[in-house]
């Protein structure tokens, strides 16, 4: 899969893409990442990529000419990719969107800056706008890193045999169950006995219950969209998490 990232600060991406799974995925040819400096497409000698907004107001707006020229040049290099603008007004990013993006052969990620980009670029060149959360960052670069990371780990052959995207938090819409490792006793706190039993069926049941318990306590709205089998619902009722009237108190 190919990622093209349009930014005025390409240096920000040097370290994140040279570590861990992303480095391995690049080395193995699973992904290609190309960085494009929007300033290289500026039309004036000062390489300006922003200007004051018409109508007045604070801040600056990304100019249409450099960004449009950059997008046109990048799209012409290969089969056109899906163009995503990182923007606070975008659709909230989630696992379902990550899975959809993983099915694309190419993503073109535009890192917004300042007060945003000229609306004429959004209308003519952007396929969708994405936000990684209800807060404001200095630019879309961190959001682009989030998308590259979350999409890459879903691609076939990226994760090793001891790693699994299917068991991640949000893969089913639930938060991750508690995890434990050695030592068995740490500061008088013991690992739950069931995890040492070797009974894999019981362990999976335990993990489901604990995953639901954590989700119910921290993100209860997620449970509105999760489907449970009859066996799972029976298990959750037995654990006191599900009553005839709905979800119980996680505590």
Pair 51, 60: CB distance under 8 Å: yes
Catalytic residue among 88, 149, 219, 232: 88
Catalytic residue among 65, 128, 149, 168: 168
Pair 113, 66: CB distance under 8 Å: no
| Catalytic annotation present for 64 | no
Here the tokens at position 89 are 């007004």
Q: Which residue do the tokens 């899975």 mark?
A: 99
- What is the distance between the alpha carbons of residues 131 and 55, in angstroms, rounded to a whole number? 26
- What is the distance between the alpha carbons of residues 234 and 228, in angstroms, rounded to a whole number? 10
Q: Name the residue among 67, 46, 58, 117 with its Cα closest to residue 88.
A: 117
Catalytic residue among 40, 115, 128, 149: 115
Q: Which residue do the tokens 């509105």 mark?
A: 224
Catalytic residue among 106, 113, 153, 172: 153
| Catalytic annotation present for 153 | yes
Neighbours of 7 (CB within 10 A): 24
Pair 210, 177: CB distance under 8 Å: yes
Element (H, E) at 140: none
| Catalytic annotation present for 115 | yes
| Catalytic annotation present for 205 | no
Catalytic residues: 88, 115, 153, 168
């Amino acid at each position: 899969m190919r990622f093209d990232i349009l930014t005025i600060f390409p240096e920000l991406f040097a370290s994140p893409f040279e570590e861990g799974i992303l480095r391995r995925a690049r080395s193995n040819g699973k992904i290609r990442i190309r960085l494009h400096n929007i300033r290289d497409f500026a039309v004036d000698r000062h390489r300006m990529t922003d200007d004051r907004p018409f109508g007045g107001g604070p801040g600056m707006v990304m100019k249409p000419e450099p960004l449009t020229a950059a997008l046109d040049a990048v799209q012409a290099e290969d089969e056109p990719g899906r163009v995503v603008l990182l923007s606070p007004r975008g659709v909230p990013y989630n696992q379902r969107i990550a899975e959809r993006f993983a099915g694309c052969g190419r993503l073109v990620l535009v890192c917004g800056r300042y007060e945003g980009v000229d609306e004429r670029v959004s209308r003519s060149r952007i396929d969708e706008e994405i936000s990684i959360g209800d807060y404001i960052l200095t630019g879309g670069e961190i959001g682009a890193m989030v998308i590259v990371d979350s999409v890459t780990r879903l691609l076939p052959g990226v994760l090793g045999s001891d790693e699994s995207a299917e068991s991640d938090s949000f893969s089913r819409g639930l938060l991750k169950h508690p995890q434990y490792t050695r030592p068995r006793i740490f500061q008088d706190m013991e690992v739950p006995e069931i995890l040492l039993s070797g009974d894999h069926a019981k362990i999976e049941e335990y993990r489901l219950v604990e995953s639901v318990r954590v989700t119910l306590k921290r993100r209860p709205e997620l449970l509105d969209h999760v489907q449970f089998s009859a066996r799972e619902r029976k298990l959750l009722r037995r654990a006191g998490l599900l009553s005839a009237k709905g979800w119980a108190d996680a505590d």
